[in-house]
Structure 1
Amino acid sequence: MNKAKQQARAAALFAAALALAGARAHAATPAPAEPLKATVSHWWTSGGESAAIRQFADAFNRAGGQWIDQAVAGAEQSRASTINRIVGGNAPVAAQFNTSRQFRDIVDQGLLNNLDDVAAKNNWDRVLPQVILDVIRIDGHYYAAPVDIHMPAWFFYSKKAFAQARIKDEPRNWDEFIATLDKLKAAGLIPLAFGGQVWQEKIVFDAVFALVGGPELFLKVYRDRDVNAVRSPAFRNVLVSFRKLKAYTDPGAPGRNWNDATALVVSNRAGLQIMGDWAKGEFLAAGQVAGRDFGCFPGFGPKAPYIVAGDAFVFPKTAKPNIVKAQKLLATVMTSPGPQAAFSARKGSIPIRPDVDMSQLDMCARQGLAIMQDTSRQLPNAEMLVDPDLNGALQDVLTNFWNRNQTPEQAQQAFAQAMKDNAW
């Protein structure tokens, strides 16, 4: 073999060796890990809500997940969709419920994965408020990841509307509140922005109940299901005070969505709204600033009860390893300090844990966080204390009282009967 052929053969062998080495190196390089996909069912569809949940989605994606959004408009419709999908074998990876007894039935039926290891690793027992732990921990196991604390009885008001009505101070008691509404009405404004839907009527009723009736009566009725308390003069006074507010609503209130009621305050056409602090997200989405464009107060006076509510995500039962990993990653991300602060800043809620960066939170949220440090002011919301069937029955009683010509005594009787018919 001449020298030229030897050199050519050597070059070919070298090239082949390089190709083989490259192939082996390529084979030895692991393929990029597939993201942990998570279909997430929820009902957050308004402007402020969408901006808020995007914080969780982005954080989950950065952590190695792939968020697949499955929003269903309307809380009841979303929960019904989730339950139907679980029963039908097409469950989402995670689904929203309120921090309440709404998911207790599917826990009892063994249809949810627990989060015990996530809770232990992230010290939920130490960092979460007891009122939240009492709902998500069932028979010693954790079945939901709480993502926010909402207070459903905030009072939001338009600074411009208050100035137009020559109102200088926030009301300090119920009588001053009624006087405030009278001044707004006299100024040609809608005094109370109201959404005439059953759940909104119940929210306003419970706000009146806690403030006018007081926490003791509130707990006697909802926690203890004391029929004598329902028949008391004090409870009758709560009903009378509640329906008195109807005179301050406008003709367009029936059937109005909550965010459309909030928009009346945002646009200064209405003076005030009683709503959960999720309404604040609508003010923020409109570019308004708490303390400058709108005001907020959580009841009357420095010791007003602070009703605790919120949202949580549950994780339907599965044994598929990648789905379980996605569920645990999602629960960890949603409850971590960074995403908690970013979410709450846009949602209007306060974080579930105190060790977050407060710089993103507005004056209303900071006020709520300070109040939560005083456990004597914490009052569980009604849905933490009664099951969904009873809550629905009581909503029906209250909407009948609000919208029909019933006497307070008739409403008391119907309320007591609903409690008897839905006894545990």
Structure 2
Amino acid sequence: FGDGSPVASAALAGGVATISHTYTSAAGFTVTATYDGAPSFLSSSGTDAQTVNKAATTTAVVSAPDPTVSGQPVTLTATVVPSAPGTGVPTGTVTFDFGDGTPTATAPLTDGLTSVTHSYAGTSGSPYTVTATYNGDTDYTASSGTDAHTVNRAATTTAVSSSPDPGVTGQTVTLTATVSALAPGSGTPTGTVTFDFGDGTPTATAPVAGGVATVTHAYSTAAGSPVTVTATYNGATGFAPSTGTDTHTVNKAATTTTVASSPDPTVTGQTVTLSATVSAVGPGAGTPTGTVTFSFGDGTPTATAPVTGGVATVTHVYAGTSGSPYTVTATYNGDNGYTSSTGTDTQTVNKAATTTTVASAPDPSVTGQTVTLTATVASVLPGAGVPTGTVTFSFGDGAPTVTAPLSGGTATTTHAYTTRTGSPFPITATYNGDTNF
């Protein structure tokens, strides 16, 4: 047969011998037929040229499993067979084009079969056209086959955590969402995560980088704590949405209360403004609300004022100096986001200045006539109130002085002048003061 295979013999019938042979490779072969002779005939030989061309092939490709999800490995199997009338088992390689723009892969044929694995990173081109190209060999021609492979979005899980936890009112909290693909999917999800803080404030959306999205938030109150934080992954071309929750505890922030008085010092009866400033203590932040109760330190009733912009203000009038300096106490009563606290200050109250006026009636009088002398004592601004105590009267005629008690700011005495020598007489009324004036 000219291809190195064993010779074969066939019987002559009517001068013709016939045999069949299959060539396993493509080439030009010289076929030699040798007649062995017979008693009446001599032996002889003859040759012929036999051309054997490459056999055509067909290539089929299948994927399993189908469909898959993003990141899931898929096995692509190509089967190469000769087309009739060719037979045999093709050898060589098959090149796979996955249809997603990634580099092709080439694998060797074994018994007409070859397989590769591939993971699709997304779904944007699904279903993808997979092309398997048999590259041919010395005996078989090249051929191609295609298959459609569907890739669905991979399921995901979203986990969310907060730090620090617990926090306090006004403290900045970092919320972190981690998005992962669920098996059999794989890969790192992209896209965005929307955070709901659980306190009624607007949601916030952050990009996913390396599977993680992060935002910060400050809770303005501890009411409703613990709050439920919800992180919703919004999905991407290769990954399905998912949601995760976490509870975050918000405690009341500590506060400090400072109190100041103005003016300081004051005098009896003067109006003083007392201001309490309430501030959050770090890591807390924000502006406390609620009320502050003021104790003036003089036994008078307390006063409660609202906190506006972190400040509460009242006015007070000290009626005396007996407890000066007075300890002023401002107690912040707390609110939903902040704890109570207390601050103190001292307020000095000095005696108020006074004026004393004196009048006589009747004026003029005559020798021996009884004259009524009236002294009026009043406080001088910014002081106020009604002085008490005594007034000492000097009549200006050498007679002994007389001291009379004040009542309602007035002291009265009588005197009879025994002579008119020295008239008009200088009358002096001296207010002797008290604890407050």
- TM bin (shorter chain): under 0.3
**When the two structures are superposed, what TM-score results if normalisation uses the length of structure 2?**
0.20
**When the two structures are superposed, what TM-score results if normalisation uses the length of structure 1?**
0.20
Structure number with higher relative contact order (C-alpha < 8 Å, ≥ 6 residues apart): 1
**Greater Cα radius of gyration, structure 1 or 2:** 2
Structure with more of its chain in strand, by fraction:
2
